[in-house]
Structure 1
Amino acid sequence: MHAWLYLLTAIALEVTGTLSLKHLHDQPLTHTLLTYAQLSGAFYLLSRAFRQIPVAVAFATWEALGLLSLTVLGAVLLGEHLPPTHLLALGGLLLGSALLGRGTRHPPEDTRAPADHTVPPAPVTGQPA
């Protein structure tokens, strides 16, 4: 559960840090340092999420939710154009991320460990085999 919280927080930091990059050229040094701290924190939390979430799932989620958030916020906050083809592409990213996550949760039947982990009893010493 903590891993998903790390991942979602990392996405939020990456999105806010990336949006901040748009206006770095006319900001004071403190704003620049805050932006770099957000982006560094995002990668640190992503590395923490990798400890429990498969890399493919975590990174696909990171990319899909990050791009979706940046695209929507760019359109709403910055007035950037959002054509239907971009919306279709974002839907494809989300679908791909969901399929990756679904495909890694349950290993195929032939790779699962057998349910019966019993060890046969050891022969009793002193008795003929």
Structure 2
Amino acid sequence: MRAWTALLSAVGLEVFGTLSLKYTALGGLTLLGLPLGVLLTALCVGASYVLLSLAFRRIPVAVAFAVWEAAGLALVTLLGAVLLGEHLSLPGTLALGGLGLGAWLLHKGTRAPAAGEVQA
């Protein structure tokens, strides 16, 4: 359960960091000569990778990475439409469904190594 919590937290941080970067492009505060959003994005994405590495300890890499990518992309796309007024077309919506389906199929078709089994 901790691995899934780490994975979902990694997704949340990546989404927050990505949206921070978008808001930076719209102008904003600076710190040390860099837009604050760039620094915030770097921190969030870095923390996201740390949490993703923790998830890899218990969740197969294919599953964790697929969920991280698909959930992150879906959330950024949906929040971009809701918060930023970006257009989401029917093909784009279908593509998001395909990402979710692909992540689910990987989860169903991948097994974690049994206790004591060495992973190749």
Q: Does TM, normalized by the shorter one, top 0.5?
A: yes
Alignment of 1:20-35 (within 5 A): 20-25=20-25, 26-27=27-28, 28-29=30-31, 30-35=36-41
CA distance in 2, matches of 1:80, 1:41: 27
What do residues 14-72 of structure 1 show as CA deviations (whole Å, max 9, x unaligned)? 00000111122423224432221111101110111111100000000001111110110
Task: Tell me which residue corresponds to 1:88.
Answer: 94
Alignment of 1:18-97 (within 5 A): 18-25=18-25, 26-27=27-28, 28-29=30-31, 30-97=36-103
CA distance in 2, matches of 1:62, 1:42: 10
> Percent same amino acid at aligned positions?
59
CA distance in 2, matches of 1:23, 1:63: 21
CA distance in 1, matches of 2:78, 2:93: 9
Matched residue count: 108
Task: Tell me which residue corresponds to 1:6.
Answer: 6
CA distance in 2, matches of 1:36, 1:23: 14
Once superposed, which parts of structure 1, at least 4 consecutive aligned residues long, lie more than 3 Å away?
A: none
Which consecutive residues of structure 1, in runs of 5 or more, have no partner in the other structure? 108-129
CA distance in 2, matches of 1:80, 1:5: 29
CA distance in 2, matches of 1:81, 1:46: 30
Matched to 2:92, the amino acid is: H
Q: CA deviation at 1:106?
A: 7.7
CA distance in 2, matches of 1:106, 1:48: 15
Taking only aligned residues, the RMSD between alpha carbons, in angstroms, comes to 1.8
CA distance in 2, matches of 1:13, 1:55: 19
CA distance in 2, matches of 1:90, 1:103: 20
